[in-house]
Amino acid sequence: MPHKLVIASRESRLAMWQAEHVRAALQQYYPSCDVSILGMTTRGDQILDRTLSKVGGKGLFVKELEVAMSEGRADLAVHSLKDVPMELPEGFTLTAVMEREDPRDALVSAQFASLEEMPAGTVVGTSSLRREAALRSRFPHLVIKPLRGNLDTRLGKLDRGEYGAIILAAAGLKRLGLGDRIRALIAPESSLPAAGQGALGIEIRADRSELAEWLAPLNHLPTLLAVSAERAVSRRLGGSCQVPLAAHARWRDASLQLDAFVALPDGSRQVRAHATGPVATVADAEAIGTAVAGDLLAQGADGVLAALSTDSAAGPA
Protein backbone atom coordinates (compact mmCIF):
# COMPACT_ATOMS: atom_id res chain seq x y z
CA MET A 1 0.00 0.00 0.00
CA PRO A 2 1.27 3.54 -0.70
CA HIS A 3 2.52 5.52 2.30
CA LYS A 4 2.84 8.94 0.65
CA LEU A 5 1.64 10.38 -2.65
CA VAL A 6 2.03 13.88 -4.10
CA ILE A 7 -0.44 15.19 -6.69
CA ALA A 8 0.79 17.89 -9.10
CA SER A 9 -1.92 20.36 -10.07
CA ARG A 10 -2.40 23.74 -11.64
CA GLU A 11 -3.33 26.34 -9.05
CA SER A 12 -6.61 27.53 -10.54
CA ARG A 13 -9.65 27.00 -8.34
CA LEU A 14 -11.06 24.35 -10.69
CA ALA A 15 -7.76 22.49 -11.01
CA MET A 16 -7.35 22.44 -7.23
CA TRP A 17 -10.92 21.13 -6.86
CA GLN A 18 -10.00 18.31 -9.24
CA ALA A 19 -6.83 17.50 -7.29
CA GLU A 20 -8.78 17.53 -4.01
CA HIS A 21 -11.34 15.21 -5.59
CA VAL A 22 -8.60 12.73 -6.49
CA ARG A 23 -7.01 13.08 -3.05
CA ALA A 24 -10.32 12.28 -1.37
CA ALA A 25 -10.77 9.22 -3.58
CA LEU A 26 -7.26 7.98 -2.82
CA GLN A 27 -7.71 8.46 0.91
CA GLN A 28 -10.91 6.45 0.72
CA TYR A 29 -9.00 3.50 -0.76
CA TYR A 30 -5.80 4.07 1.26
CA PRO A 31 -6.75 5.68 4.60
CA SER A 32 -3.22 5.53 6.01
CA CYS A 33 -1.63 7.18 2.97
CA ASP A 34 -0.43 10.80 3.27
CA VAL A 35 -1.74 12.44 0.08
CA SER A 36 -0.65 16.04 -0.57
CA ILE A 37 -1.06 18.50 -3.46
CA LEU A 38 1.76 20.41 -5.15
CA GLY A 39 0.19 23.54 -6.70
CA MET A 40 1.94 24.93 -9.78
CA THR A 41 1.52 27.68 -12.36
CA THR A 42 1.87 26.54 -15.97
CA ARG A 43 2.70 28.47 -19.13
CA GLY A 44 -0.90 28.04 -20.20
CA ASP A 45 -1.98 29.92 -17.06
CA GLN A 46 0.56 32.70 -17.63
CA ILE A 47 -0.18 33.53 -21.27
CA LEU A 48 -3.60 35.16 -21.32
CA ASP A 49 -3.35 37.68 -24.16
CA ARG A 50 -3.36 35.11 -26.98
CA THR A 51 -5.43 32.07 -27.83
CA LEU A 52 -3.96 28.64 -27.13
CA SER A 53 -3.95 27.89 -30.86
CA LYS A 54 -1.42 30.72 -31.29
CA VAL A 55 0.99 29.88 -28.47
CA GLY A 56 1.49 26.12 -28.40
CA GLY A 57 -1.77 24.39 -27.54
CA LYS A 58 -2.82 22.03 -24.80
CA GLY A 59 0.69 20.98 -23.77
CA LEU A 60 1.15 24.37 -22.12
CA PHE A 61 -1.09 23.20 -19.26
CA VAL A 62 0.81 20.00 -18.49
CA LYS A 63 4.53 20.54 -19.13
CA GLU A 64 5.44 21.88 -15.68
CA LEU A 65 3.48 19.10 -14.00
CA GLU A 66 5.40 16.51 -16.03
CA VAL A 67 8.71 18.12 -15.03
CA ALA A 68 7.69 17.80 -11.36
CA MET A 69 7.00 14.09 -11.89
CA SER A 70 10.28 13.62 -13.76
CA GLU A 71 12.19 15.22 -10.90
CA GLY A 72 10.42 13.13 -8.27
CA ARG A 73 8.64 16.10 -6.68
CA ALA A 74 5.23 14.64 -7.59
CA ASP A 75 3.87 11.16 -8.23
CA LEU A 76 0.84 11.94 -10.36
CA ALA A 77 -0.88 14.83 -12.12
CA VAL A 78 -4.60 15.48 -12.48
CA HIS A 79 -5.92 17.05 -15.68
CA SER A 80 -9.18 17.99 -17.32
CA LEU A 81 -8.95 15.33 -20.00
CA LYS A 82 -9.93 17.71 -22.79
CA ASP A 83 -6.73 19.66 -22.03
CA VAL A 84 -4.45 16.62 -22.34
CA PRO A 85 -2.59 16.27 -25.66
CA MET A 86 -3.47 13.18 -27.68
CA GLU A 87 0.17 12.08 -27.64
CA LEU A 88 1.95 12.32 -24.29
CA PRO A 89 5.72 12.85 -24.11
CA GLU A 90 7.86 9.72 -23.98
CA GLY A 91 8.03 8.37 -20.46
CA PHE A 92 4.50 9.36 -19.43
CA THR A 93 1.16 7.59 -19.56
CA LEU A 94 -2.50 8.27 -18.84
CA THR A 95 -3.22 5.63 -16.22
CA ALA A 96 -6.77 6.35 -14.98
CA VAL A 97 -9.92 8.16 -16.10
CA MET A 98 -12.51 9.03 -13.47
CA GLU A 99 -16.29 9.15 -13.85
CA ARG A 100 -17.44 11.87 -16.17
CA GLU A 101 -19.37 14.99 -15.20
CA ASP A 102 -21.79 16.62 -17.65
CA PRO A 103 -19.86 16.83 -20.97
CA ARG A 104 -22.02 19.55 -22.53
CA ASP A 105 -21.21 23.18 -23.25
CA ALA A 106 -23.06 25.79 -21.21
CA LEU A 107 -24.33 29.26 -22.02
CA VAL A 108 -23.58 31.79 -19.30
CA SER A 109 -25.21 35.21 -19.57
CA ALA A 110 -26.98 37.78 -17.42
CA GLN A 111 -28.87 39.15 -20.44
CA PHE A 112 -29.91 36.19 -22.57
CA ALA A 113 -31.50 32.83 -21.83
CA SER A 114 -30.51 31.27 -25.14
CA LEU A 115 -28.29 31.79 -28.16
CA GLU A 116 -31.38 31.97 -30.35
CA GLU A 117 -32.66 35.17 -28.72
CA MET A 118 -29.43 37.17 -29.08
CA PRO A 119 -29.65 40.13 -31.47
CA ALA A 120 -27.10 40.79 -34.21
CA GLY A 121 -23.82 42.13 -32.88
CA THR A 122 -24.01 40.45 -29.46
CA VAL A 123 -20.48 39.60 -28.33
CA VAL A 124 -20.00 35.95 -27.31
CA GLY A 125 -16.75 34.80 -25.72
CA THR A 126 -15.17 31.39 -26.10
CA SER A 127 -11.70 29.91 -25.73
CA SER A 128 -12.34 27.12 -28.21
CA LEU A 129 -12.06 27.04 -32.02
CA ARG A 130 -14.50 24.11 -31.89
CA ARG A 131 -17.15 26.26 -30.20
CA GLU A 132 -16.34 29.17 -32.47
CA ALA A 133 -16.94 27.07 -35.58
CA ALA A 134 -20.28 25.81 -34.22
CA LEU A 135 -21.39 29.32 -33.27
CA ARG A 136 -20.39 30.92 -36.58
CA SER A 137 -22.16 28.18 -38.50
CA ARG A 138 -25.46 28.52 -36.62
CA PHE A 139 -25.39 32.20 -35.64
CA PRO A 140 -23.42 34.22 -38.21
CA HIS A 141 -24.91 37.46 -36.88
CA LEU A 142 -23.13 37.13 -33.52
CA VAL A 143 -19.66 38.54 -32.81
CA ILE A 144 -17.32 35.83 -31.52
CA LYS A 145 -14.33 37.02 -29.49
CA PRO A 146 -11.53 35.11 -27.70
CA LEU A 147 -11.86 34.44 -23.98
CA ARG A 148 -8.84 33.29 -21.95
CA GLY A 149 -8.10 32.88 -18.25
CA ASN A 150 -9.29 30.55 -15.53
CA LEU A 151 -12.98 30.08 -14.81
CA ASP A 152 -13.25 32.94 -12.31
CA THR A 153 -11.41 35.30 -14.67
CA ARG A 154 -13.78 34.45 -17.51
CA LEU A 155 -16.86 34.96 -15.36
CA GLY A 156 -15.43 38.28 -14.17
CA LYS A 157 -15.05 39.49 -17.75
CA LEU A 158 -18.68 38.59 -18.42
CA ASP A 159 -19.85 40.34 -15.25
CA ARG A 160 -17.95 43.51 -16.24
CA GLY A 161 -19.91 43.64 -19.47
CA GLU A 162 -17.06 42.74 -21.83
CA TYR A 163 -19.27 40.03 -23.34
CA GLY A 164 -23.00 39.56 -23.76
CA ALA A 165 -22.54 35.85 -23.11
CA ILE A 166 -19.79 33.29 -22.78
CA ILE A 167 -19.65 29.56 -23.52
CA LEU A 168 -17.99 27.32 -20.94
CA ALA A 169 -17.81 23.63 -20.14
CA ALA A 170 -20.73 22.74 -17.89
CA ALA A 171 -18.56 20.34 -15.88
CA GLY A 172 -16.33 23.02 -14.43
CA LEU A 173 -19.24 25.20 -13.36
CA LYS A 174 -21.01 22.28 -11.70
CA ARG A 175 -17.88 21.07 -9.92
CA LEU A 176 -17.33 24.47 -8.35
CA GLY A 177 -20.95 24.83 -7.26
CA LEU A 178 -21.63 27.45 -9.93
CA GLY A 179 -24.39 25.59 -11.71
CA ASP A 180 -26.75 28.50 -11.07
CA ARG A 181 -24.67 30.60 -13.51
CA ILE A 182 -25.75 28.32 -16.36
CA ARG A 183 -28.59 29.90 -18.36
CA ALA A 184 -28.82 26.99 -20.79
CA LEU A 185 -27.13 23.69 -21.43
CA ILE A 186 -26.35 23.36 -25.13
CA ALA A 187 -27.39 20.05 -26.65
CA PRO A 188 -24.56 18.02 -28.22
CA GLU A 189 -26.46 18.16 -31.51
CA SER A 190 -25.90 21.93 -31.53
CA SER A 191 -22.44 22.12 -29.97
CA LEU A 192 -20.68 18.77 -30.01
CA PRO A 193 -18.30 18.52 -27.02
CA ALA A 194 -14.54 18.17 -27.23
CA ALA A 195 -12.88 14.78 -26.84
CA GLY A 196 -12.68 13.99 -23.14
CA GLN A 197 -14.78 16.96 -22.03
CA GLY A 198 -16.11 16.53 -18.49
CA ALA A 199 -13.69 13.72 -17.58
CA LEU A 200 -10.64 13.80 -15.30
CA GLY A 201 -7.44 12.03 -16.36
CA ILE A 202 -4.56 10.99 -14.13
CA GLU A 203 -1.05 11.02 -15.62
CA ILE A 204 2.00 9.27 -14.20
CA ARG A 205 5.50 8.31 -15.28
CA ALA A 206 5.37 5.21 -17.46
CA ASP A 207 7.95 3.42 -15.28
CA ARG A 208 5.74 3.62 -12.16
CA SER A 209 3.93 0.28 -12.54
CA GLU A 210 3.21 0.05 -8.82
CA LEU A 211 1.55 3.48 -8.95
CA ALA A 212 -0.60 2.38 -11.89
CA GLU A 213 -1.84 -0.52 -9.75
CA TRP A 214 -2.66 1.77 -6.83
CA LEU A 215 -4.60 4.14 -9.10
CA ALA A 216 -6.52 1.40 -10.92
CA PRO A 217 -9.55 1.58 -8.55
CA LEU A 218 -10.13 5.19 -9.65
CA ASN A 219 -10.82 4.10 -13.23
CA HIS A 220 -14.46 4.37 -14.34
CA LEU A 221 -14.76 1.87 -17.18
CA PRO A 222 -17.75 3.40 -19.05
CA THR A 223 -16.02 6.80 -19.07
CA LEU A 224 -12.66 5.29 -20.01
CA LEU A 225 -14.17 3.50 -23.00
CA ALA A 226 -16.10 6.55 -24.17
CA VAL A 227 -13.15 8.92 -24.00
CA SER A 228 -10.86 6.33 -25.60
CA ALA A 229 -13.11 6.37 -28.66
CA GLU A 230 -13.18 10.17 -28.68
CA ARG A 231 -9.43 10.56 -28.29
CA ALA A 232 -8.83 8.02 -31.08
CA VAL A 233 -10.67 10.34 -33.48
CA SER A 234 -8.65 13.32 -32.37
CA ARG A 235 -5.37 11.40 -32.45
CA ARG A 236 -5.98 10.20 -36.01
CA LEU A 237 -6.76 13.72 -37.19
CA GLY A 238 -3.96 15.41 -35.27
CA GLY A 239 -6.42 17.05 -32.88
CA SER A 240 -5.09 20.07 -31.03
CA CYS A 241 -6.14 23.60 -30.15
CA GLN A 242 -5.38 24.52 -33.76
CA VAL A 243 -8.06 22.16 -35.09
CA PRO A 244 -11.81 22.82 -34.56
CA LEU A 245 -12.61 19.19 -33.86
CA ALA A 246 -15.28 17.57 -31.70
CA ALA A 247 -15.77 13.94 -30.70
CA HIS A 248 -18.46 12.82 -28.28
CA ALA A 249 -19.44 9.28 -27.29
CA ARG A 250 -22.65 8.26 -25.52
CA TRP A 251 -23.76 4.89 -24.25
CA ARG A 252 -26.90 3.25 -25.62
CA ASP A 253 -27.24 0.06 -23.57
CA ALA A 254 -24.07 -1.93 -24.38
CA SER A 255 -23.32 0.02 -27.56
CA LEU A 256 -21.28 3.18 -27.86
CA GLN A 257 -22.61 5.93 -30.11
CA LEU A 258 -19.84 8.20 -31.38
CA ASP A 259 -20.30 11.50 -33.23
CA ALA A 260 -17.50 13.70 -34.51
CA PHE A 261 -16.85 16.70 -36.71
CA VAL A 262 -13.97 18.77 -38.03
CA ALA A 263 -14.56 22.30 -39.31
CA LEU A 264 -13.06 25.57 -40.39
CA PRO A 265 -13.13 28.19 -37.59
CA ASP A 266 -15.47 30.45 -39.57
CA GLY A 267 -18.03 27.64 -39.76
CA SER A 268 -18.12 27.75 -43.55
CA ARG A 269 -17.17 24.11 -43.91
CA GLN A 270 -17.90 21.15 -41.64
CA VAL A 271 -17.50 17.42 -42.05
CA ARG A 272 -19.44 15.08 -39.74
CA ALA A 273 -19.40 11.34 -39.08
CA HIS A 274 -21.18 8.88 -36.81
CA ALA A 275 -20.81 5.26 -35.75
CA THR A 276 -22.42 2.90 -33.25
CA GLY A 277 -21.21 -0.46 -32.07
CA PRO A 278 -20.71 -2.81 -29.11
CA VAL A 279 -17.69 -1.89 -26.97
CA ALA A 280 -16.18 -3.97 -24.17
CA THR A 281 -12.50 -3.01 -24.27
CA VAL A 282 -10.31 0.01 -24.95
CA ALA A 283 -9.29 -1.64 -28.22
CA ASP A 284 -12.97 -1.85 -29.26
CA ALA A 285 -13.46 1.83 -28.39
CA GLU A 286 -10.38 2.95 -30.27
CA ALA A 287 -11.45 0.90 -33.29
CA ILE A 288 -14.76 2.83 -33.45
CA GLY A 289 -12.88 6.11 -33.06
CA THR A 290 -10.46 5.19 -35.83
CA ALA A 291 -13.36 4.21 -38.10
CA VAL A 292 -15.11 7.54 -37.51
CA ALA A 293 -11.88 9.40 -38.22
CA GLY A 294 -11.53 7.43 -41.44
CA ASP A 295 -15.08 8.39 -42.43
CA LEU A 296 -14.29 12.06 -41.79
CA LEU A 297 -11.20 11.82 -43.98
CA ALA A 298 -13.15 10.05 -46.72
CA GLN A 299 -15.63 12.94 -46.70
CA GLY A 300 -12.90 15.53 -47.15
CA ALA A 301 -11.63 16.29 -43.66
CA ASP A 302 -8.09 16.19 -45.00
CA GLY A 303 -8.93 19.23 -47.11
CA VAL A 304 -10.18 21.06 -44.02
CA LEU A 305 -7.03 20.13 -42.13
CA ALA A 306 -4.87 21.28 -45.04
CA ALA A 307 -6.64 24.64 -45.10
CA LEU A 308 -6.10 25.02 -41.37
CA SER A 309 -2.43 24.15 -41.76
CA THR A 310 -2.05 26.75 -44.51
CA ASP A 311 -3.74 29.42 -42.41
CA SER A 312 -1.53 28.56 -39.43
CA ALA A 313 1.64 28.71 -41.51
CA ALA A 314 0.62 32.09 -42.92
CA GLY A 315 0.36 33.51 -39.43
CA PRO A 316 -1.89 36.33 -38.22
CA ALA A 317 -2.96 38.95 -40.74
Which residues participate in catalysis according to the annotation? 83
Measure the N-to-C terminal CA separation of the chain; round to a whole number of Å.
56
CA distance 75 to 92: 11
DSSP string, 254-284: TEEEEEEEEE-TTSS-EEEEEEEEE--SHHH
Round to whole Å and give the CA distance between 34 and 253: 39
Going from the C-alpha of 102 to that of each of 168, 193, 219, 248, the distances in angstroms are: 12, 10, 17, 12
8 A C-beta contact, residue 37 and residue 5: no
Report the alpha-carbon angle 29-30-35, nearest 5: 115
